[in-house]
Structure 1
Amino acid sequence: MTLKNSADRWGGISQLLHWSIAVLILSIGAIGLVMGELPRSPKFFWVYTVHKSLGLTVLALVLARIGWRLYAGAPQPVAGTPRWQSKLASLTHGAIYMLILAMPLSGWLYDSASGLRPLRWFGLAEVPKLSRPNEGLAGAMHETHELLFWVLLALVIGHAGAALYHHFVQRDATLARMLPRRWIDAPPPKESE
């Protein structure tokens, strides 16, 4: 497998970053949906620390992904893809990148403005605060963080649905080119009816 993107496939580094970020976002989202219901115990604070640490990890990975994409380029649209679909895919990808950047930043700002004890990334390194304690800012960032999550979730579901549509209905290589070779091949073209 080549590490750099080619004209027709995503390379190994892009694939690794894409799927790592996807798995982390799903994990963070699941944790975020249940952590507010946990009883106040040492485990409660541990779960919050994991949620925040994973969020900062995603922030670092998406910055690496953007840098890598600028360096390695992106494959051309799959042959036969209508122009409107390519344009919609580009807009969706751009929105997803923006949300993946905004989500951890809003969470970090919420944590900072809340005046909570300093966050230690996975207990290893103290994360600097982005603001002084500010109840109004903390409330706004908490609401923003939640809203961004639901918008991101909707876009990710649409993104995954489009990949599955291309694979099973359009029968093209859109999904296959984001997976290691031979995991799945592009389906054979539909037979003429």
Structure 2
Amino acid sequence: MLRNTTTRYGWAAIILHWLIGLIFIGQFALGWTMVRIASQRTAFELIQLHKSFGFLLLGLVLIRIGWRFANLSPELPEEVGPMERLAAPSVHFLLYAAQLVVPLSGWVLVSVSVLEIPSVPFNLFVMPHLPLGVSEQAEDFWIFGHKWLAYAGIALVVLHILAALRHHFWLRDVVLVRMISPLIARRARKPE
């Protein structure tokens, strides 16, 4: 039950999905909060925590993408219409792209920052900066880019959540259930 089948997700995909989702949403909330805190000390600590979870998110997303390529993807239930069959792969691609681009843009941001503050994920090691030129203009550009990429990413997440809830409560199919547990998905599947 670790691996995916043609009808349901395995535990590895399920755990990675929910862990990445929680971190991504948490990162958005943390990023939104840390730039609005009056205390510079608290803001600095929150920024360091934000960077730590950003690197963790990046690593987990790379693992998730590798796992997706190495496993089957469950087929959509027969009840899913043709428009959704076309839209679902595009939205999933955009979600993966956002989950990669947002933390990467954060890494670029700290790498080009004139403050040159080292990133020390969870106080374990120094993450080297990317070999990019340091300048105020580059920093301003990446502050803007990172922020708006995060807004676009969270909009995709909201769309994804709404679609999952629609499947579960309105269409009453197994699309959401199979991302909760392989056991529940097996029981919920209609007999063939």
In the superposition, the TM-score normalised over structure 1's length comes to 0.91
**One-letter code of the match for 2:184?**
R
Alignment of 1:12-23 (within 5 A): 12-23=11-22
SS at match of 1:126: coil
Which residue number in structure 2 is paired with residue 182 of structure 1?
Answer: 184
Instruction: Return the offset for 1:185.
Output: 6.6
Alignment of 1:126-141 (within 5 A): 126-130=126-130, 131-141=132-142
Range that drifts further, 41-50 or 16-25: 41-50
Q: Which runs of 5+ in 1 are unaligned?
A: 189-193
Which residue number in structure 2 is paired with residue 37 of structure 1?
Answer: 36
Which residue number in structure 1 is paired with residue 119 of structure 2?
Answer: 119
Which residue number in structure 1 is paired with residue 60 of structure 2?
Answer: 61
Q: Distance in 1 between matches of 2:112 and 2:16?
A: 30
Instruction: Using CA pairs under 8 Å that are at least 6 residues apart, name the structure with larger relative contact order, 1 or 2.
Output: 2
Instruction: Return the offset for 1:184.
Output: 11
Instruction: Return the offset for 1:84.
Output: 1.5
| Percentage of identical aligned residues | 33
Deviation track 1:68-100 (CA, whole Å, cap 9, x = no partner) reads 000012101112211220110110000010011
State the number of aligned residues: 187
Q: Which runs of 5+ in 2 are unaligned?
A: none
SS at match of 1:29: helix
- Please list every run of at least 4 consecutive aligned residues from structure 1 whose deviation after the TM superposition is greater than 4 angstroms: 183-188
In the superposition, the TM-score normalised over structure 2's length comes to 0.92
2:150 matches 1:152 = no
Instruction: Return the offset for 1:150.
Output: 1.1
More helix as a share of residues: 2
**One-letter code of the match for 1:168?**
F
CA contact (8 A) 1:176 1:184 kept: no
Q: Distance in 1 between matches of 2:96 and 2:184?
A: 28
Q: Distance in 2 between matches of 1:179 and 1:111?
A: 36
Q: Distance in 2 between matches of 1:185 and 1:53?
A: 39
User: Quick one: structure 1 residues 178 and 37, their matched pair in 2 at CA, closer, same or farther if it must change by over 3 Å?
Assistant: same
Q: Distance in 2 between matches of 1:99 and 1:170?
A: 27
